Amino acid sequence: MNVTVAQEKGEASATPAKRRRLVVIGNGMAGCRAVEEILARDSTRFDVTIFGAEPRVNYNRIMLSPVLAGEKSFEEIVINGQDWYDDNGIALVSGDPVTGIDRKNRKVVTRGGRIEGYDTLLIATGSDPFIIPIPGKDLDGVVTFRDLDDVDKMLAAAEKGDANGGAGNAVVIGGGLLGLEAAHGLSLRGMRVTVIHLMPTLMERQLDEAAGYLLKAELESRGQTILTSANTKEIVGNDGKVAAVLLEDGTIIPADIVVMAAGIRPATGLARAAGLEVERGIMVDDHMVTSDPDVLAVGECVQHRGLCYGLVAPLWEMCRSLADHATDQPSGYGGSVTSTKLKVSGIDLFSAGDFSGGDGCEDIVMRDASRGIYKRVVVKDDRIVGAVLYGDTADGNWYFDLLRKEEDISDVREALIFGQAFASGGGALLDPNAAVAALSDDAEICGCNGVSKAQVVACISGGAHSLDAVRSTCKASASCGSCTGLVESLLAVTLGDDAVESGPKTMCKCTSFTHDDVRKLIVEKELKVIPQVMQELHWTTPDGCASCRPALNYYLLCAWPGEYVDDQKSRFVNERLHANIQKDGTYSVVPRMWGGITSPNELRAIADAADKYQARLVKVTGGQRIDLFGIRKEDLPAIWADLNAAGMVSGHAYGKSLRTVKTCVGSEWCRFGTQDSTGLGVQIERMTWGSWMPHKFKIAVSGCPRNCAEATIKDFGVICVDSGYELHVGGNGGIHVRATDLLCKVETEAEAMEHCAAFIQLYREDARYLERTAPWIERKGMDWLKEALFAKPGTVTELARRFRYSQTFWQDDPWAARAGGDRRDLHSHIAEVRPLSIMENA
């Protein structure tokens, strides 16, 4: 027995009279989470003692599978270390379970004889594994899968192997979540694994027949033997130890260890002995109060409105309601809609709601056999009632949110099966950040730790500006990591372009490679199409996701200009439409104005387009252009055709590309101007427009050190001085303003343009996708940048050459194809028919 008393009992200074005594039976996830929620509401109300059966601090049981598989250590799955108990004045009694409750005298007694009084008792005893009542169930080598001791027994069996020094045979009885995760871990540890499942479909409570078939095929391809519709008759022993498993049909399966994973039952023994009302679980009301008002209960041991829950998400909802009640805040638990994910590496599986179908239900199904993708959404009365996803689960949270809130999906019915990106983007790929932004505040982000979108956003707004900071503050993404992409998107949405990266990380959940690795391998292995990259680099998803596909498309464009064909379906919808979607569902359109210069003809064309397409707002942007708001999506091709006909092309205000080149009037008009800043700005814009970048890119040219064009907060800035041009890089005017660093000084416009092209090309070839120049330079350093550009003679010229070559293929306008003709021909035509007045007057 281990006893840690962080606060001495009975001392008035340590235990104020106003504190009530809260005793918690159960040091697991539910009990400790309930205490966390209470402390968050009122840290001075209770004097807390927690009793735990295991001789350990609180850890994440749902992460036992990665520990078994060797993917995590015990230390990595600890939720509350000893410092948490100490800091909060909690007495932890570990390894000495409570064996009796005296409700009349409000006391509990432990196996070791310790007696503890309480004012409020919280029972969080969890569940017990169901042991199939068959001969041999008590043999040495039969284990369950509920705690760390079980994991240690399985690891010992895997290390020992069989009697002949081989890998050893493991039989797992039960093809549910726990059974399959145990089988996966033992398989990774080198054992020959057989899974025995009574029902014809694996995970039949969470999967339909089609998804169960795909899962079975995948597990068998990994070397496991999966026996469905198989009934275990006996566990055969030899000298008191497991030797084999006998099935009803006579099949004998050798076994060095047998894992019982046939289900769980609420642990109600203590409550029943104490006279509390118990059916399948301990009966509780909406406030988690039992039949005794001084006794609360929470977690897998309870029964609420006729239901017992064996998944973690409902536990968190129960804990919040319990804490509200314990601190006199009105609230109540109304039950949970649950979702399921399988924590087996490389298998994407999601299930939620009721997929049994029936009268009034409609199945929407998408199958892609070659990619191993199966999606089924069950709809009734224009509302989702169930969903099963296999092979691609990126939209699981979205479907679950729609299901839980019973939202009407009739408006997105046609695109529903293709996911949120298409349903929200009108059939085109939507920026994943925008998709996460569209989730409701109470949408669940992290199921392992019960963290909602609102909690993650509050954590970020409170100062957690990196993935690691979010993990340590609110625990989102701190466990299995499947929600990492969602948390990263929330960081990007909340902080904008200035979200802090937490160091090298994989591109997304589809791959174990970082952005830098992928860029390097694309060139080294001469990978020239997206499917080839995914095949050669062992992508874990069949077709990528909304995070990696745009990045791969960009990296291939950059690596193989002229060879790689831009994959439009791998672009975000705003890049495809050349328009920014607004919160009312309409779009804004920004035609390009070279260096901020326009003409009466252009202004007439813009005014005509605004009238014709009923723009609701016409605004001058910060980049010296005109933005037309309120354009309907169906009018976008037509408005761009009209603007193209007037000689105007896209301002690319919507893409990961050059946005604007801001200028002041310079020496031609300003009495302080030292150089022709407008003319240089126009030349730079003509040189760089239409070029795709890792992120948006802004340029400015100021005619004198007074810097009216704000060149020192742009990605590339030029300050004109009497003796030439000062070139600045890495500025950002966003949430975290960053002034530029001085790169160098040159004497001529030609040199300024050459250095601009070289800097852009180096940025394009080295930076990670969605990394702006400011964090790129801060990551790489100005010393590295200057050495990369200037250490070797001729580097600037070579980079500029590669930039100009790539522009031959990149400097186009996708909407030009809608107007007819070759894109590059149309670009040349526009350049010919649209002379620049500033250049004519120079």
**Which residue positions form the known binding site for siroheme?**
708
DSSP H helical segments within 340-451, as ranges? 396-405, 420-424, 432-437
Q: Which residues are annotated as a binding site for [4Fe-4S] cluster?
A: 664, 670, 704, 708
Place of tokens 């399948």: 280
CA-to-CA separations, 431 to 63, 493, 587, 753, in angstroms, rounded: 31, 11, 15, 32
The answer to whether 333 and 321 have CB atoms below 8 angstroms apart is yes
Q: Write the single-letter amino acid at 437.
A: A
Token pair recorded at residue 118: 């309480």
SS3 721: strand
Radius of gyration for the alpha carbons in the chain, expressed in angstroms and rounded? 32
The answer to whether 457 and 467 have CB atoms below 8 angstroms apart is no
DSSP 8-state assignment for residue 56: S
Return left, alpha or beta for 461; rule: phi > 0 is left, psi -120 to 50 is alpha, else beta.
alpha
CA gap 271, 277 in Å, rounded? 8
* DSSP secondary structure of 470-522: HHHHH-TTSSS-TTHHHHHHHHHHHHGGGPPP-SS-BSSTT-S-BHHHHHHHH
Token pair recorded at residue 554: 């960009």
> Bridge-partner residues for 283, per DSSP?
303
Q: Write the single-letter amino acid at 31.
A: G
CA gap 361, 383 in Å, rounded? 10
Residue 572 contacts by C-beta under 8 Å, 6 or more apart in sequence?
A: 429, 430, 431, 550, 655
SS3 598: coil
Place of tokens 């104020």: 16
The answer to whether 502 and 496 have CB atoms below 8 angstroms apart is no
SS3 72: coil
> Bridge-partner residues for 384, per DSSP?
379
Token pair recorded at residue 696: 């948006």
CB atoms within 10 A of CB 440: 13
CA gap 839, 642 in Å, rounded? 25
Place of tokens 């159960």: 26
The answer to whether 691 and 807 have CB atoms below 8 angstroms apart is yes
Three-state SS for 82-144 is: HHHHHHCCCEEEECCCEEEEECCCCEEEECCCCEEECCEEEECCCEEECCCCCCCCCCECEEE
Token pair recorded at residue 441: 């505040």
CA gap 142, 499 in Å, rounded? 50
With CA atoms as reference, report the closest residue to 91 among 154, 29, 1: 1
b/e map 260-283, b = 16+ CB within 10 Å: bbbbbbbbbebbeebebebeebbb
CA-to-CA separations, 18 to 21, 47, 107, in angstroms, rounded: 10, 10, 19
* DSSP secondary structure of 611-668: HHTT-SEEEE-TTS-EEEEEE-GGGHHHHHHHHHHTT--B--TTSSBEEEEEE--GGG
Place of tokens 């990591």: 481
CA angle 388, 391, 397 (to 5 degrees): 50
CA gap 301, 486 in Å, rounded? 31
Q: How far is CA 755 from the centre of its chain?
A: 38
